[in-house]
Chain A
Amino acid sequence: MPGTIAIKNNNMSITYDTSSQLTRPQVLFNLNSHIQEILKESNLKKTSPTNLIQVNAGKETKKSTREVRIISLDDISINKKIAVNVVYESDYILFTSDEYDVFGYGSSFEEAEQMLKDDFKILKEYVSEGIINENNASSEELNSLKKLFGYGT
């Protein structure tokens, strides 16, 4: 598909020629990897990924991309790492965990991650206080939460 995809980050600029052999998903995947590197290198706090992406592939602009990240919950006293889905929307980054039905979002990874962790704190509180219990949760869900928070099953 003809057109160009470019990353613009202050003085940095990377341009892909989408008329190459790569398919559009492959190009977007590569582009996403570059964004991760740029964010890591520049430690951007308040930059929306779609501010970094300009897609011109002939038709409509691709709005969001997805990936999976592993985050550690050590800093909220949960000795586990979990996989979260990351969705890049036009004005925020969204972290979700389908397993635990929690989410976080913000203009930076840090904000989204912190918001997600706040949900885990509440879940932990609710499990320890018995607010989440066998009357309102399946045994599978309850066991999964107890295991996550180290309460045993």
Chain B
Amino acid sequence: MVLKKRKICKNLSSKGFEEDRSKDHIYFRYYHNGKKTRYFTKLSHGGTEITDSLINVMARQLQLKKAEFVNLVECSLSKEELLEIYIEKGL
């Protein structure tokens, strides 16, 4: 499986993650009601897509199942559904 980095950036940013490009990598931190939460992940600046190994570790870091992460990136998991998942896990 392959995911486009551009799509990851776009969809994480539109679903509650704030993008931070000030470091060596692009960090995505999940915010709720303006407050930083414990959920974050990152991508390197280089390359245009990521494959299975990275998809798995990014999903795991975000405490999502791989399918949930893929759906988040592919847009079939909505912002509200993601929030529900994180509310259940604890914010």
A-side residues, CB < 8 A to B, are 64, 87, 89, 91, 94, 96, 101-103, 105-106, 111, 114-115, 118-119, 122, 126, 131-132, 135-137
Contacts and interface: CB of A to CB of B under 8 A. Distances in A.
B53 A89 contact: yes
State the majority secondary structure of interface residues on A.
mixed
Contact of A105 (B23, B27, B38, B44): B44
A49 B42 CA distance: 23
A115 B53 contact: no
Given A101-B60, A131-B37, A136-B38, A114 B90 contact: no
B54 A94 contact: yes
A136 B91 contact: yes
Interface of B: 23-25, 27, 36-38, 40, 42, 44, 47, 51, 53-54, 57-58, 60-61, 63, 89-91
10 contacts: A87-B53, A94-B53, A96-B57, A101-B60, A101-B61, A103-B57, A105-B54, A115-B24, A115-B44, A135-B90
A94 B57 contact: yes
Contact of B24 (A96, A118, A131): A118
Given A126-B38, A131-B36, A131-B37, A115 B25 contact: yes
A94 B38 CA distance: 23
Contacts, number: 48
A91 B48 CA distance: 12
Contacts of A136: 37-38, 89-91
Nearest to A127: B38
B43 to A, nearest CB: 9
A138 to B, nearest CB: 10
Contact of A132 (B38, B57, B61): B38
A136 B91 CA distance: 6
Given A89-B51, A91-B47, A136-B38, 16 more contacts: A101-B60, A101-B61, A102-B61, A105-B44, A105-B54, A106-B44, A111-B44, A115-B42, A118-B24, A118-B42, A119-B61, A122-B27, A122-B40, A131-B37, A131-B38, A135-B90
